[in-house]
Amino acid sequence: MKRDRLLRLPDVEAATGLKKSSIYLLQQRGEFPRCVQVTPRCVAWAESAVLQWIQDRIAAASAASAAPASQHAGPQSGRSSGATR
């Protein structure tokens, strides 16, 4: 049996860099691991699920940065940065 720890909200915030409102919003959208009801007034997250979510985010960012530069270039305005008179 694999051992896992339960992380309380401050630990999840520290690990992800997100605040409470963002964590619960992502959870509601199905984009963040669900919390576990520990007691009627206490919830926690499985450490393995949170760490996997972090790794998935890192992998997605790496894949996005490896895409061709033309996909990331914004529209060119044609304006110069210098002042004109």
At 58-73, the pLDDT tens digits run: 999 999 888 766 555 5
Bigger pLDDT: 39 or 78?
A: 39
Rg value, the chain, Cα: 20
pTM, two decimal places: 0.73
Residue 78 inside a domain? The answer is no
Which strands form 36-39's sheet, in the order they lie side by side?
6-7, 42-46, 36-39
Domain count, the chain: 1
pLDDT in tens, 1-48: 788 999 999 999 999 999 999 999 999 999 999 999 999 999 999 999
What are 7's strand-pairing partners? 45
Residue 35 inside a domain? The answer is yes
Q: From the DSSP assignment, how many helices (H) and strands (E) are in the chain? A: 4, 3
Residue 23 inside a domain? The answer is yes
Residue 62 inside a domain? The answer is no
Residue 71 inside a domain? The answer is no
How far is residue 38's CA from residue 46's CA, in Å, rounded to a whole number? Answer: 11
What Cα–Cα distance (Å) separates residue 35 from each residue in 28, 40, 60, 82? 11, 13, 23, 53
Residue 52 inside a domain? The answer is yes
Domain range for 49: 8-57
Residue 52 — very low, low, confident or very high, per pLDDT cuts 50/70/90? very high
Residue 63 inside a domain? The answer is no
